[in-house]
A and B are shown apart, each in its own frame.
Chain A
């Protein structure tokens, strides 16, 4: 592979065995070098993997109470769709007063029941049927009862209920999101 040229005298062909050490030591050195190389790569790869793997569970279980409207504006027994407005967090940005999503609420006496308007199948927005007797998803025709139970279609579970409280006449909801497409109800952060 040498290409002697210019001012260098032509090199003699190497005549001795290309190692100064005995074969055992060379094998040991090979193993050591391979190991060292792997260790070196590990120092980069391990933090690299941590860096790339954000967890969907981050921020799970945290309460996010958001005011969605006044109790007195809600009619008894009739589902209403309400916008959820709050601070939108996206990686490093926080944008104030953004629409974060929508929920369905039904007033029952002085209490309010709330469900996420996100379809548990693949995340389309659940609408109310024309007869107002059931909920339906426009994407893959899942149907839910007014109580939220899955009646027909591909949805793997009932509509996701949300915690509600009434303070000083205002309806507040603990706005959460859940993993889609599975029967189990799993919160995502």
Chain B
């Protein structure tokens, strides 16, 4: 006890402990009071997990994603800590709303609790700001694009907007300077302000005690510990249970592919901003700030003005309906908009495809990061990865005309032959049967140049003398083409013989044709890697098509990529297309 006395003399801790032990709750302990406490505890959880994450996180545009991926996939319990942090933050937002709603319904913002209420309202805004500054720190696609949109909205605020935007971004474009700023705000400035305000909020609410429905209720009284603490703890434990469950379900928090400013990412805000996202839709151009700034500003101002508007002594809900009704409508409106946004997005097939693509990229990034991220950063890692790069190249340079599997012209308006299965027997058969199909050469300047071998021509005179090619002959020609694509020997085969008889009047074989004027392509080596490479390098070189076939005067001709893309990229594309011939469909 000597030590206790010694310490008490210097710190006075016993009086402090007694004040806690003997604290009371006038009117008795209630579960309704537990929401605020659970909010405080949950914020503490995010603070603790946040400090843990700080020990492994590296804020710069080249390291941020890599360090988060390292936390998520390599560090022991890293995914769990991340999950607690993110879902803790989201749970805090939910608890803020519940706590605030209860305060408003009870009329607990009125004299003498106005300042308590305003401090609480400021805290609600700051908790949102905390989440907003946290998400981009991952520097993944989702966080990055949310940041772009959010700082864009800040930029539209009258007068202060542009300056504020520059201040947040640390310059024009989001980059390393932005990350360091957001990080400082997220882990230092906001915790400081939130901590101070939360302490004040707590002091004030202890000072005034709970807002009782009738003063007579104060006759009943409970000790704070354990009666109220038990309720606080129970709610906190349930909240933690939900957070842990969500963490397990998602194996931590999500991590998208590394931020890529040049990509087309289907940006959607986090769920707590979906209402605002949906609200923005009907407002266009100059009217947009109505949805992004004016309406949210008015709602906030209305909530802040409640203590000034509502001064009657009676706390009963029916008497305050004129004030509670608008609050209720705001809440319902937000819920309805959120639901609508979710509905619209789940019904949107294009969005679904874009999301699936983004997820595939994220998965690939995770696989690549397992072997370590180069010092140039995660985006460079993705861009140098052949598997991702060839898809990006095809999308950028080929998919506006050609279709190949999932990669297709945006509006389904193909203007060049489909490359799905290019070089396979199926492709060769199709071009013999229906060369003018819209997905073959029907949309190119070659339309009408090659007759189908099975369908009679449109001209009735010609149709009369038309005889479809015998199935065996066609099979032999298809076999020839397939073998050429695979680089197999065809000399002396029946297929080659038939091709000489029936195709070389227009097509070239070993550069020879009966009709030098014809624009038909070379059939030797057709569909092989060398053929595809030559076609990509320069389709009019004569190795594939004769020079005239790719005359710029002909509409929609294929460009020569040898001047547009480095050789390594052209090789990647060649291999990508060449893979089609052996793909199982």
Contacts and interface: CB of A to CB of B under 8 A. Distances in A.
A51 B81 contact: yes
B226 A29 contact: yes
A16 B373 contact: no
Contacts of B233: 33, 36-37, 40
Contacts of A87: 372
Contact of A44 (B75, B84, B230, B372): B84
B374 A40 contact: no
B227 A51 contact: no
Interface stretch (A7-15, A104-112, A135-143): A7-15
Given A18-B24, A51-B76, A52-B55, A93 B218 contact: no
A186 interface: no
A2 interface: yes
A40 B237 contact: yes
B215 A8 contact: yes
Contacts of A47: 77, 80-81, 84
Interface residues of A, number: 43
Contacts of B206: 1
A26 to B, nearest CB: 7
Interface stretch (B44-52, B507-515, B528-536): B44-52
Contact of A50 (B77, B208, B229): B77
B236 interface: yes
Contact of B313 (A4, A7, A16): A7
Contacts of B439: none
Contact of B78 (A15, A19, A51, A95): A51
A30 B28 CA distance: 17
B110 interface: yes
B112 A51 contact: no
Given A1-B207, A52-B52, A16 B221 contact: yes
A61 interface: no
A34 to B, nearest CB: 8
A147 B49 CA distance: 51
Nearest to A53: B76
Given A33-B230, A93-B373, A12 B218 contact: yes
A166 B263 CA distance: 49
B70 interface: yes
Contact of B371 (A10, A94, A95): A94
Interface of B is mostly: helix
Contact of B45 (A9, A44, A52): A44
**B interface, how many residues as a size bin?**
35 or more
B69 interface: yes
Nearest to B311: A7
B244 interface: yes
B219 interface: yes
A3 interface: yes
Contacts of B227: 19-20, 29
Nearest to B23: A1
A98 B227 CA distance: 63
Interface string A60-85: 00000000000000000000000000
Contacts of B374: 93-96
Interface string B1-41: 00000000000000000000001101010000000000001
A3 B221 contact: no
Contact of B52 (A19, A37, A51, A91): A51
A94 B52 contact: no
Contact of B225 (A3, A7, A30, A92): A30
A59 to B, nearest CB: 11
B186 to A, nearest CB: 19
Which of A12, A18, A29, A52 has the most chain B CB atoms inside 10 A of its CB? A18
B375 A93 contact: yes
B222 A19 contact: yes
A94 B23 CA distance: 56
A2 B209 contact: yes
A51 B218 contact: no
A20 to B, nearest CB: 7
Contacts of A56: none
Interface string B69-104: 110001111101100100000000000000000000
Contacts of A1: 23-24, 206-207, 209
A96 B375 CA distance: 9
Contacts of A52: 52, 55
Contacts of B240: 40, 43
A14 B81 contact: no
A132 interface: no
B133 interface: no
B119 to A, nearest CB: 16
A16 B225 contact: no
B374 to A, nearest CB: 7
A12 B52 contact: no
B223 interface: yes
A53 B81 CA distance: 14
B116 to A, nearest CB: 12
Given A18-B222, A30-B225, A95-B375, A7 B75 contact: no
A89 interface: yes
**In the A-B complex, the 7 residue pairs with the closest CB atoms:** A94-B372, A6-B111, A92-B70, A47-B77, A11-B218, A9-B215, A92-B66
Given A2-B208, A3-B208, A48-B52, 4 more contacts: A40-B237, A44-B49, A51-B56, A92-B70
20 contacts: A2-B218, A5-B111, A5-B112, A7-B313, A8-B215, A11-B215, A14-B220, A18-B223, A29-B230, A30-B226, A32-B226, A36-B234, A40-B240, A48-B77, A51-B52, A53-B76, A87-B372, A92-B66, A92-B69, A94-B373
